[in-house]
Amino acid sequence: MVETEKKLILVIEKNIIAERSILIVKIEGILDCQSSQYFYDTILKAISSDKVDIILECSNLKDISTCGIGILESIKKKIITNNRKFIFCGLKEELIQKIKLLDLSIDLSTEEYTNMPDIDSAIAKITTIFPLIFECYGCGKKIKVNKSGRFKCPECKKIISVSVSGDIQTE
């Protein structure tokens, strides 16, 4: 689906990869006060019914204003509260510097705002579920596992199975 506004072109692709719904949004043009509301409305419409991860492909994003940064922050909050990921991809160094200067709430070095070099790297980051941290069903102790398999809780000795997709079962 291609959506356009005078200063901004969005190409939106919805994919299901490794049982996760991923919205890839390719941005071209300028995300400023005039185009940011259009961008926000278009993204909300695309994610309204689904629990999705978002990859913003920004290699053709020419400029971003404080309004654009504010809209990105609003969208990120909606995505993160549903335990999903929001990843930048191909964001140019000059725009990274501008975002750092204009806004304190977007820190591109954190897990929430990862900037991956390309879409394939971003998809790999989203679909990787390990290491997985969960609470033991028997005693509530937090357990961290780095791969699928059978594990014994160090506290109550209950056997726990973790599948490749991250499903947890007790035996």
Chain segment 56-114, per-residue pLDDT in tens:
999 999 999 889 988 988 888 888 777 788 888 998 989 888 877 775 556 555 555 56
Residues 70 and 119 reside in one and the same domain? yes
Structural domain for 52, as ranges: 2-127
Residues 105 and 150 reside in one and the same domain? no
Share of the chain above pLDDT 90, in %: 29
State the pLDDT at residue 155: 95
Residues 112 and 147 reside in one and the same domain? no
Of the candidates 123, 127, 149, 121, which has an alpha carbon nearest to the alpha carbon of residue 18?
127
Question: CA 30, CA 12: separation in Å to the nearest integer?
Answer: 17
Question: CA 139, CA 157: separation in Å to the nearest integer?
Answer: 9
What is the pTM assigned to this prediction?
0.69
Strand 20-31, strand 8-17: pairing: antiparallel
Share of the chain above pLDDT 70, in %: 87
State the pLDDT at residue 35: 92
Computed over every residue of the chain, the mean pLDDT equals: 83
Residues 47 and 91 reside in one and the same domain? yes
Average pLDDT for residues 128-137, to the nearest whole number?
A: 85
Read out DSSP for 10-66?
Answer: EEEEEEEETTEEEEEEEEEEEESHHHHHHHHHHHHHHHSSS-EEEEEEEEEEEEE-H
Residues 141 and 119 reside in one and the same domain? no
State the pLDDT at residue 130: 80
Residues 120 and 144 reside in one and the same domain? no
Residues 80 and 120 reside in one and the same domain? yes
Residues 84 and 155 reside in one and the same domain? no
Query: Quick one: which H or E segment has residue 77?
Result: helix 66-80
Residues 120 and 137 reside in one and the same domain? no
Within 10 angstroms of residue 18's Cβ, the number of other Cβ atoms is 13
How many domains is the chain built from?
2
Within 10 angstroms of residue 63's Cβ, the number of other Cβ atoms is 14
Average pLDDT for residues 117-121, to the nearest whole number?
A: 86
Rg (CA), the chain: 19
Phi first, then psi: what are they for 131, rounded to 5°? Answer: -70, 145
Residues 17 and 62 reside in one and the same domain? yes
State the pLDDT at residue 41: 92
